[in-house]
Amino acid sequence: MNAFTTSQLAGIAAAIDARDRELRDELEQSGKKRYLDLAGSVHDTGDEAAATELIDMQHALIQRHLAELREIEVARGRLAAGTIDECEERLMANQVAVRCIDCQGRFESNRPHEARSSM
């Protein structure tokens, strides 16, 4: 377990806040795109299909952003509780990751039934 300095903790918090703002800005921009804007007012079935595909991809991106925002809230909770000092490398690379690569490998090897896809 590594103990972080006040400066490092502030840097981690700043990185979390910056990513939060970035995601929220992207979500705000995605809300401004409309089906008619994508398909055009005079359209054919090809335009409709392309617009539908773009909307579906936008919905998937929105879901990914919302999941990451939830991870950010969890990371903020760990930061506030002082329980973030388990993997310094993980935090410097990705402030919302729960485990670094080494810890994730150990986690998966201890839980082989949970780590493998059922497909």
The pLDDT of residue 1 is: 46
What DSSP character marks residue 5?
P
- Cα–Cα distances (Å) from 110 to 90, 102, 107, 114, in that order, read 20, 12, 5, 9
Residue 87: the pLDDT is 67
Q: State the Cα–Cα distance between residues 101 and 119, nearest whole angstrom.
A: 24
d(CA 75, CA 9): 12
Lowest-pLDDT range of 18-22, 23-27, 47-51, 56-60: 47-51
Return the domain boundaries, the chain.
Answer: 6-86
Q: Residue 74: how many CB atoms within 10 A of its CB?
A: 11
State both tokens at 80.
Answer: 């506030």
Higher pLDDT, residue 98 or 62: 62
Percent of the chain with pLDDT over 70: 74
pTM of the full predicted structure? 0.64
Task: Tell me what pLDDT residue 85 has.
Answer: 60
Residue 20 CA to residue 65 CA, distance in Å, equals 9
Q: What integer best gives the mean pLDDT of the chain?
A: 77
Residue among 102, 95, 111 at smallest CA distance from 8: 95
Q: Which of the two residues, 5 and 63, has the higher pLDDT score?
A: 63
